Amino acid sequence: MAPQAVTVSFRLGGDDGVSVEARKWAWALRELGFETRRVAGTIEGADERDDIVIPGLEIDPIGAGSIDADPLEGGVLRRALEHADLVLVDNMCSLPLNLDAARAVARVVRDHSGRVCFRHHDLPWQRRRLTHLETEFPPRVDGALHATINLRSRRELHARGYADAVTIHNYFDLDPRHHDRSATRDHFGFGDDFVLFQPARAIERKNVPGALRFAQQLHGLAPGLALHLWISGPAEDGYAPVLERIVERARIPVTIGRAPTAGDGYAASDLVVFPSTWEGFGNPVVESIAFRRACAAYPYPVLAEIVAAGVRVFSTQQPETVAKFLAEPPAVRDRFFDANVHRARVSFSLVDLPRAIDEVFASHGWIAW
């Protein structure tokens, strides 16, 4: 009988980074012989067999008192996890955006008879408003594995006494299928515009003003380009009024809206702009490489770990370098894209994820299931 792996998180199935990476891990675990299930406060997209939605696990502001933790622990949550050979707590006890739910999950997994892996995309001390929770989260559970998606977070965990924390960074499909550039551009009315794509929710740390500032600087350097900024959106965390003011004052066209798929978004764009001030990893940087698009990113801290693999990323602080690249002949740009994909395969290819997980599990003593 195949071992059972259950992923539990605030939300799954969508286009946010945690959901995207949870899907990759579920695929990798199935490659390793597991059966997988999902438990979350919200599950978007198509249903999967044995999905369990527990509304009390949804993302809510800290202190909102969104659930009564005790009945949740003693009821559906405990039953949802009790037969799992492996429970993957995906960012839920790393960034406790619903404090009651995070505490309930922590207490349930402390009593769990199977193995527990906490996957950390973010950590509480990496958000100013959550630093007061750093002594409580991530929970210290005997025998649990703590897996970060970047080296910086692993070092921070080690400094706080999580001696066995490991890093399994994000992996990517570097041979994506064809996506419909023309239909997507027609849908958004881009025409012949040169589209700068910001693949991000509109929240403060995604730095929409930085994307617009870069676009306007690039327009000054390449006035022949009919620039159009496209933010995949939507606004979250109360950012909508700020976003409205930014768009009203923009000197170039701005579109906000999600493409049918992430791949359609990259296919319909001409340049990726990623001005985030903080990311747990920064998937669009490598996704842009897979889709053969140049990416201009702000030098957020973890970007250095991606660039260390040898891939080339432009800086939003140097728009003149981007303008020069765009003026290069197509053959020169193609060689740039070829080299970037080649280097990305060494460190970020999705086909290597099952092996990476298997090696980490084995190093933690998780061999027989």
For the record, the structure tokens of 280 come out as 């747990």
Query: What pLDDT is recorded for position 47?
Result: 87
Query: What pLDDT is recorded for position 72?
Result: 56
Return the CATH fold of 4-171+350-363.
Rossmann fold (3.40.50)
Say if CB 198 and CB 261 are below 8 A apart: no
User: Read out DSSP for 71-132?
Assistant: HHHHTHHHHHHTT-SEEEEESTTTS-SSHHHHHHHHHHHHT-SSEEEEEESS-GGGSGGGGG
What are the residues whose beta carbons fall under 8 Å from the beta carbon of 206, sequence distance 6 or more?
Answer: 198, 200, 275, 276
Query: What pLDDT is recorded for position 184?
Result: 96
- 181-347 matches 4-171+350-363 in CATH topology: yes
- The secondary structure of residue 198, as a DSSP letter, is E
Give 10-residue mean pLDDT values along the chain (369 residues).
Answer: 96 92 98 97 90 90 47 75 96 94 95 96 94 95 97 97 96 92 96 96 91 95 94 86 89 92 95 96 97 97 97 97 97 98 98 98 93
What are the residues whose beta carbons fall under 8 Å from the beta carbon of 77, sequence distance 6 or more?
Answer: 39, 54, 56, 57, 104, 105, 108
**Helix or strand or coil: residue 197?**
strand
Query: What pLDDT is recorded for position 86?
Result: 98
- The secondary structure of residue 235, as a DSSP letter, is B
| Residue range 181-347, CATH number | 3.40.50.2000
Q: Where are the domains of the chain?
A: 4-171+350-363, 181-347
CA distance 256 to 246: 12
Query: What pLDDT is recorded for position 202?
Result: 87
Query: What pLDDT is recorded for position 73?
Result: 52
Query: What pLDDT is recorded for position 306?
Result: 97
**Helix or strand or coil: residue 163?**
coil
Query: What pLDDT is recorded for position 46?
Result: 86
What are the residues whose beta carbons fall under 8 Å from the beta carbon of 283, sequence distance 6 or more?
Answer: 17, 20, 21, 170, 172
Query: What pLDDT is recorded for position 237?
Result: 82
Distances (CA, A) of 297 to 16, 60, 251, 294, 301: 19, 30, 21, 10, 11
